[in-house]
Chains A and B, each alone.
Chain A
Amino acid sequence: MKLTRRDALALGLGATAASLLPFRASAAADDAIAAFTGGMEAGEGGITLTAPEIAENGNTVPISVDAPGAVAIAVYAAGNPTPGVATFNFGPLAGSQSASTRIRLAGTQDVVAVAKMADGSFVKTSSTVKVTIGGCGG
């Protein structure tokens, strides 16, 4: 177990039990994605999102996205109070349509990546990143 008194108190004040449960989706994330796609349905395939299964530190989670042929890739943290994380735009001279960054996650949630392709269509993928407080190794 991993709790000292100080951290237990800090967590007790700063976080509620509910915040440790997964956020799968939110109206805010759906709205933000709809704004990016203009309401168009996003397909599957052609986009890769690489993220850890369990975050080592929820305050700085490394992720990368790759969508060959995309003109833009938007990343959302579906469970954050403000879901929009970043939008990467790729010009015609871009060597590859990929990007990596670090994001802050308020708790266990789905990270969503949506790519706008050159023909105006959209593709989407998501990955669950767990932010955990406990854990005892074997």
Chain B
Amino acid sequence: MLNRRDFLQVSMAASALVGASGFGNWARLAAQQALTQDQLLEFDTFGNVSLIHVTDIHAQLKPIYFREPSINLGVGENKGAVPHVTGADFRKLYGVEDGSPYHYALSSGDFSALGKAYGKVGGLDRVATVINSIRAARPDALLLDGGDTWHGSYTCYHTEGQDMVNVMNALKPDAMTFHWEFTLGSDRVREVVAELPFAALGANIFDAEWDEPAEDFEPYKFFERGGVKIAVIGQAFPYMPIANPGWMFPEYSFGIRTERMQEVVDEVRGMGAELVVLLSHNGFDVDKKMASLVTGIDVVLSGHTHDALPEPVLVGDTIIIASGSNGKFVSRVDLDVRDGRMMGFRHKLIPIFSDVIEPDKEVAALIDEQRAPYVDAMSEVIGETDSLLYRRGNFNGTWDDLICDALLSEREADIAMSPGVRWGPSLLPGDKITREDIWNATSMTYGKAYRSEMTGEFIHTIMEDVADNIFNPDPYYQQGGDMVRMGGLGYRIDITKPQGERISELTLLKTGEKLDPAKSYTVAGWASVNEDTEGPQIWDVVEDHIRTQGTVTVNPNTSVEVVGA
């Protein structure tokens, strides 16, 4: 008699052997160098329950390019563990052939060349086709949205998220949790949530005044699917008021709240849940730690850190699924639930190759309807890029290098700071840069570009503080973004050191001098979480800069020296 854990492992190994898991298929498909919609969607329906997971779409309605990071360092117990494995190491770990479609979809390296060969990814009309295909095989599949949906584009900003709400409603999700949605302001969030035709979940969304669960969001929702009683628990981004402007949603408190999660899991188990699914915006390493501390969760659908993993990660009896970002992937998880227990699973991370998957006509029309009032303004060409523009990476990305250049020149500053967010699609060398492209990399409700005087000591303190939010060895103290991007400033970072000792050798690039702790420098930045920030909107700053340049070239950034990786 197999115990449950053995069965899971046997089940996973067996599916890889017979090519039933996504991963097994990928190696074979890669060899064929051919892709069809049928191959991408191929899946032997398994068990009695299907989950469909999308997350961190960041308002990307249309196909885009999206380069995965080449630097994504893990610390502490997560050093060298997925998702902190990138590029060629990632391909070796999962047996993905160089130059294959899966190399392009899942890892960095040769991105510009492969992007030209394999084309764009994502598009919610293509995502709709995938969802419809899964529902054709399993009509009562649950569609779960991990949040960061109503943020990140020109149309999303101008409609206050309504474009995304309208399109997502057409996909008929069953539940959702939240992060950037709250940057629309709590009044707007409540207004939308009141009309949502599906569950708005967040067990860790509390009333800030009373420190009790907030009434506007349910902690969980029960579903009966395939004869199985399923509880889906929501977990919103824990550090919302710290990483984003708390003044926009002052009524709410968040936090990881492990004890609360255990209470909620116990509550739904007590109510007869046979399958417990956590729809989470914790970030991957936080989810791993939470799964190790909370007992009774079968599946974690993990969001926030934008990782795309071709196989689930097992923590005890819990499987953790990571489904990427920006509409680039859909995860399908089929589960065999019997006698009140999850007995096995089959999983596939489906990459949305936009040129391979047929758009769903109704959703395509709905998307164009949302965009129609803004198409003229969005499609204006501002300039062109000679370089690959991308964002992901722990210390810099070429999009952020360009934004920092814009801040330095347009705002006449010594030093520029750009937030280490992970959203924002890529552009290939030779691409035109439209206004929409600039907004895809900068759009937010607190985008004003400040200009301020800071001492060298204070700049150092900020950098140490942000570095600890990424490289604290305990995932519960990490916020899930990347290092603040510095323009005009070089530095050395030892990621193994404690806070206060990681950052050294701060150098003002324009003079080559060491930063003087006592001296004041002019710093330009954007995305301040403080109320009453003054300055032009960042997208206007970047647009002016690109217009002046005509064609932009971003030279390789060699100003950050990383130690301890």
Contact = CB atoms under 8 A, between A and B. Distances in A.
Interface of A: 1-9, 11-12, 17, 20-22, 50, 52-54, 56-57, 62, 100, 108, 128, 130, 132-138
Given A2-B528, A56-B241, A136 B421 contact: yes
B144 interface: no
B460 interface: yes
Contacts of A1: 417-419, 462, 466, 484, 525-529
A137 B248 CA distance: 15
Interface string B224-267: 00000000000001011111111000000111100100000000
A54 to B, nearest CB: 6
A130 B305 contact: no
Interface in B310-346: none
A8 to B, nearest CB: 5
A110 to B, nearest CB: 13
B476 interface: yes
Contact of A133 (B419, B461, B498): B461
B380 interface: no
14 contacts: A1-B462, A2-B527, A3-B452, A8-B452, A17-B461, A22-B498, A50-B259, A56-B208, A56-B241, A128-B477, A135-B465, A137-B421, A137-B479, A138-B480
Given A135-B479, A136-B420, A137-B237, A20 B528 contact: no
Contacts of B532: 4, 6
A17 B421 contact: no
Given A1-B466, A4-B533, 11 more contacts: A5-B450, A7-B530, A12-B455, A132-B469, A134-B465, A134-B466, A134-B469, A135-B529, A136-B484, A137-B244, A138-B482
B525 A137 contact: no
Contacts of A54: 239, 242, 255, 477, 479
A135 B417 contact: no
Contacts of B259: 50
Interface string B506-533: 0000000000000000000111111011
Contacts of B243: 135-137
Contacts of B468: 130, 132
Contacts of B6: none
Interface in B432-469: 450-455, 457-458, 460-462, 464-466, 468-469
B255 A52 contact: yes
Given A1-B528, A135-B242, A137-B479, A17 B457 contact: yes
Interface in B405-433: 417-423
Nearest to B148: A138
Contacts of A8: 452-454, 458
A57 B453 CA distance: 25
Nearest to A62: B211
A50 B472 CA distance: 20
Q: Which secondary structure dominates where chain A touches chain B?
A: loop
B239 A135 contact: yes
Given A22-B499, A56-B255, A138 B477 contact: no
A22 B237 CA distance: 24
Nearest to B422: A138
A130 B529 CA distance: 18
Contacts of B422: 138
B255 A138 contact: no
A138 B241 contact: no
A50 B260 CA distance: 10
Contacts of B255: 52-54, 56
Contacts of B288: none
Contacts of A22: 498-499
Given A22-B499, A133-B461, A3 B469 contact: no
Given A1-B525, A2-B528, A138-B422, A133 B462 contact: yes
A21 B500 contact: yes
B243 to A, nearest CB: 4
A134 B423 contact: no
A137 B56 CA distance: 12
A53 B256 contact: yes
A54 B253 CA distance: 12
Contacts of A136: 243, 419-421, 466, 479, 481-482, 484, 527
A53 B476 contact: yes
Given A56-B255, A138-B306, A4 B461 contact: no
B421 A11 contact: no
List the 7 closest A-B pairs by CB distance, nearest first. A136-B419, A137-B243, A5-B452, A2-B529, A134-B465, A134-B466, A17-B461
Most buried by A among B242, B418, B533: B242
Contact of A138 (B245, B305, B484, B526): B305
A130 B305 CA distance: 21
A106 to B, nearest CB: 15
Given A17-B457, A56-B242, A136-B421, A3 B525 contact: yes
Contacts of A100: 211
A135 B481 CA distance: 8
A65 B424 CA distance: 43
Contacts of A56: 208, 241-242, 246, 253-255
A63 to B, nearest CB: 10
A4 B304 contact: no
A138 B453 CA distance: 27
